[in-house]
Amino acid sequence: MRKVIITGCNGQLGRAVNKELSLEGGYEFTNTDVEELDITNINKVMELVSQVKPFAIINCAAHTAVEACETDVENAYKINAVGPRNLSIAAAATGAKLMHISTDYVFDGNGTRPYTEFDPTGPMGVYGSSKLAGEHFVERFGRNYYIIRTAWLYGDGNNFVKTMLRLSESHDKIRVVSDQVGSPTSTKELAKLIAYLLPTDNYGLFHGTCEGSCSWADFAEEIFRLSGKTTAVERITTEEFGAQVARPAYSILRNYMLELTSDYRFADWHDAIAQYMKGM
């Protein structure tokens, strides 16, 4: 059995990874969340990794609250940058592989075509900056590592899909931003990529999102169509929404490294959300 340590095991992606690798078979899990392992403490990380001697570490832990990161700067960098650094050091010291999850927020969102892994980064805020710092630490201290940037993730937990369905119960019309575009990606689809890459030596930086793209308003309309809701979507601008923190207007990622190095392809976002909602 290949031993795997999963951090952030109670999050949407952590749960999906557990399910997908269980289906694959041949893996033994050490599941950790903040209560079991403080990834910001190098001594604690080294102690656990030395004890388990895993085949791989899958880092699903992150400080993902974009607004909170702007005021909780120290914790953002501890969790999103120092944590991956510690896991990289421990993985390299024990010969384990490291699977690290990053984000579209490493880009400035001013793109005019889908971002590839070769495009220059330029995060807009603390969340993106701290996640980019985490990537750099993995590249510097890691040995056999995979970095996967993903976007607009939804799965088993609180997410945009469930928020829209909840609001539709008490609203005939919901205001949704239409000037931010990206690729909604199910945790199941991302977990399938993780399971695909993990046994391979195809290391490095990858983009991992579902195929196709839409605005948040388009996504909401598709959610309501699939669920048979009659709730109307009122399209508004980001400015009208009044977000406290700037978010990338253009978050479409091209899974270019997967195209160049493998025959692996993600499902289209329409198919992924349909499958997700069937299982709700």
For the chain, the farthest-separated pair of C-alpha atoms sits apart, in whole angstroms, at: 56
Q: Share the mean pLDDT of the chain.
A: 97
68-97: pLDDT as tens digits:
999 999 999 999 999 999 999 999 999 999
pTM score of the predicted model: 0.97
Asked whether residue 255 carries a pLDDT value surpassing 90, the answer given is yes
Whether residue 245 is predicted with pLDDT greater than 90 in this model: the reply is no
pLDDT of residue 246: 87
Give the mean pLDDT of 32-45: 97
pLDDT computed for residue 256 by the predictor: 98
Are the beta carbons of 273 and 161 closer than 8 angstroms?
yes
263 contact partners, CB below 8 Å, separation of at least 6: none
77 is annotated as an active-site residue: no
Among 27, 77, 115, 127, the one annotated catalytic = 127
pLDDT tens, residue by residue, 113-146: 999 999 999 999 999 999 999 999 999 999 999 9
Report the percentage of the chain scoring pLDDT > 90.
98
Q: Pairing between strand 27-32 and 2-7?
A: parallel
Q: Which two tokens stand for residue 199?
A: 């046994």
CATH topology for 2-159+184-211+252-271 is Rossmann fold (3.40.50)
- Provide the pLDDT for residue 177: 97
pLDDT at 204: 98
Q: What is the pLDDT of residue 280?
A: 86
Rounded to whole angstroms, the Cα distance separating 85 from 136 reads: 9
Q: Calculate mean pLDDT across residues 18-45.
A: 97
Domains of the chain: which residue ranges? 2-159+184-211+252-271
Q: How far is Cα 252 from Cα 116, in angstroms, rounded to an integer?
A: 9
Residue 147, φ and ψ in degrees, nearest 5: -115, 125
Model confidence at 243, in pLDDT bands (50, 70, 90)?
A: confident
Q: C-alpha dihedral over 191, 268, 204, 120, to 10 degrees?
A: -130
Describe the crossing of helices 83-94 and 42-52 by its angle, rounded to 10 degrees: 30
